[in-house]
Amino acid sequence: MKFLHTMIRVRDLDQSIRFYTEVLGMRLLRRKDFPDGEFTLAFVGYGEESENTVVELTHNWGVDDYEIGTAFGHLAIAVDDVYKACEEIRALGGKVTREPGPMKHGATVLAFVEDPDGYKIELLGGG
């Protein structure tokens, strides 16, 4: 077995693609419209799907808003330097929602950023 991807629904696909590629440094791996189902899928990630787990961005046409819900937690990304990553993300217009620092009750350095739809992304040091 292999973990392939995580899917999240997004309101504005182009805005989300820009965030994940330009702010978080992922690549757009593929994008496809499904006119009969009235949705578009875009896959983003740090490497090819054959070798890496990626994020599937799903845009349902005509849907303006989603509720994230109380069960979803966050996506996590390893970075070499959490402080520097937050500076770069902020400079590119990203929103840092938890400043970098040690986790509560531990020593791991982490931070949280938020994508355009409000999904939380944890940045973990030591990547």
DSSP per-residue codes, 81-107 = -HHHHHHHHHHTT-EEEEEEEEPTTS-
Q: Which of 60, 84, 101 is the last residue of a domain?
A: 60
Residues 21-49: tens digit of each pLDDT: 999 999 999 999 999 999 999 999 999 99
pLDDT value at residue 107: 85
| Positive or negative torsion for Cα 82, 9, 28, 14 | negative
Residue 114 is among the residues annotated as catalytic for this protein: no
- The number of distinct structural domains making up the chain is 2
- Domain CATH number, residue 105: 3.10.180.10
Q: Which of 49, 88, 114, 122 is catalytic?
A: 122
Which residue type occupies 59? H
Claim to verify: residue 56 and residue 82 sit in the same structural domain: no
Residues of the chain with pLDDT under 50: none
What range defines the domain where residue 19 resides? 5-60
Determine the 3-state secondary structure of 34 from DSSP.
strand
Integer Cα distance of 20 and 27 in angstroms: 8
Does residue 65 lie within any of the structural domains?
A: no
- Do 79 and 121 belong together in one domain? yes
How much is the pLDDT for 127? 56
